[in-house]
Chain A
Amino acid sequence: MSMNRRRFLKAGGTLLAAGTLPISIVNASFGRSAHESFSFAYISDSHITHIKGNEFVRNWDRGLIRAISECNLLTPRPDFIIYGGDLAQLGTPEEIDHALDLMGGLRGKVHYVMGEHDYYLDLGEYWRKQLGPDHYSFDHKGVHFVVLNSILTYDTWTHGPWETPMARMKAMARLDNPNGSPFMVGAAQREWLRRDLDRVNRNTPVVVISHSPLQKIFKGWNFWTEDAEEIQALLKRFKTVTVLYGHVHQIQYNQIGNISFHAVMATAWPWPYPASYAQAESHLPKLTIEMNRADPFFERDATGWQMINLQTGNVDMHYLLADNRNRSVVFDRKLKRPLDARYRADADRIPPQVHF
């Protein structure tokens, strides 16, 4: 009898007593596809910015409003929506309230992720008051979802000699701040994650959602998570793992061992690829075929939102792009990595995909 079969029987016994039997465990024990097919939507990085009184930056409002109305039109309906962090620009109650007012127009259950712009004014207090815990897990149709707060940093920086909480917020809000500090999940949450994953069967597809990449791409702009390797190690024993993250405001995807990585786009503005900063080196995943360079004359260009299918347990990422042809990056079961459905060889790339 295989280890899985024994585990199933043990787990099945207790669960049957409770009257439920997750499909994941049933199917996994026969070594077949582990769950029902479903999709969810993903919106991220709206950076709602308060000017004064009831004025907010129009451009960033429009990005979120457009994403919400397009998500409301999706068919089939996504089972739920993930909001990937950086709802606000400077984490004030005015910004969070206004953003949540807009988000109120979105049909369906939303799971929120903490971004650094939501956090560093009051260390996430107002956000948590409105939205609940900043790290949690849930199961949906046989897939285990984990949401992490990955934008913490060293205590010495967070509790450093800041004149005001807003000074700290602005220091972290500036992406290229040479006196910034690297993001991390931290020991306490890593221990929570270890315990959370302990009760999950290795055949259950796992989706980990964070704001920062959980891989190391470019430290200068915090396209980076300091304890990425430790988290990857906790995920190693699972057959199918996907990490979804925001923060980078661009298309990125990668495969490290068993883990697929996908960035989600911003509704507010796109960011350049790190390689276009001539004074530093970055490690953009070689797999990634870049998004088109933004045409600044279209204010929504190179922004977008996603529809994600979990048919196979791996993520099929469908980018809904405001001013370009939509793209799909789908897990290729032979190559065992994400693959763009249209752009593959260098020759298939179009001129705007050349970044320099």
Chain B
Amino acid sequence: MNPRRYGLAPAGLSFGLVLLSSCPSHFARADEFTKEDLARWQQEYMTVVDQGDRLFHGGLGNPNTVSCDQCHPNAANTHPETYPKFQKQLGKVAVLGEMINWCIMNPLEGEVLALDDPNMIALQAYILHERRGVALVPGRH
């Protein structure tokens, strides 16, 4: 092991401390949050995941009744970890929401959602939640 590497860590630490002490003290407190905050945020998140789960399983109200889960049980094979990626048929690099809209338009024969539509956010929350823990591989096919 290279002893000079050891020397770097305390040097970096002291540099950090210098930076911190030079900031006004209320900045340090602004980012503080409690276990209660964490629980509340998690609950907000899971509420949206559950809403996405319902939309994904037949809750979109598209007239032909086809639902996302018919091709993607547990949102499998949606591969949110690979976006943005080149979609040959769209002829460009696309985000997950654009592919969701493709599915809504084609097999579901429904109305597309704005990318910031709460339902679009909920669908993505559910899809990503079912894929949690998988490493990001943007661009992969």
Contact = CB atoms under 8 A, between A and B. Distances in A.
Interface centre among B57, B65, B76, B141 (most CB of A within 10 A): B76
Contact of B73 (A271, A278, A294, A297): A271
Contacts of B70: 47, 175, 269
B107 A176 contact: no
Interface SS majority for chain A? loop
Given A57-B66, A277-B130, A278-B132, A296 B73 contact: no
Contacts of B133: 278-279
Contacts, number: 65
B65 A51 contact: yes
B103 interface: yes
B77 A279 contact: no
Interface in B71-114: 71-74, 76-77, 79, 88-89, 102-103, 106-107
A57 B71 contact: no
Interface residues of B, number: 26
A49 B77 CA distance: 23
Interface string B39-55: 00000000000000000
A57 B73 contact: no
Interface SS majority for chain B? loop
Interface in A293-308: 293-294, 296-297, 299
Contact of B76 (A49, A269, A276, A297): A276
B131 A278 contact: yes
A51 B63 contact: yes
B34 interface: no
B136 to A, nearest CB: 13
A47 B69 CA distance: 14
Contacts of B25: none
Given A276-B77, A296-B103, A351-B141, A271 B71 contact: yes
B22 interface: no
Interface of B: 57, 63-66, 69-74, 76-77, 79, 88-89, 102-103, 106-107, 130-134, 141
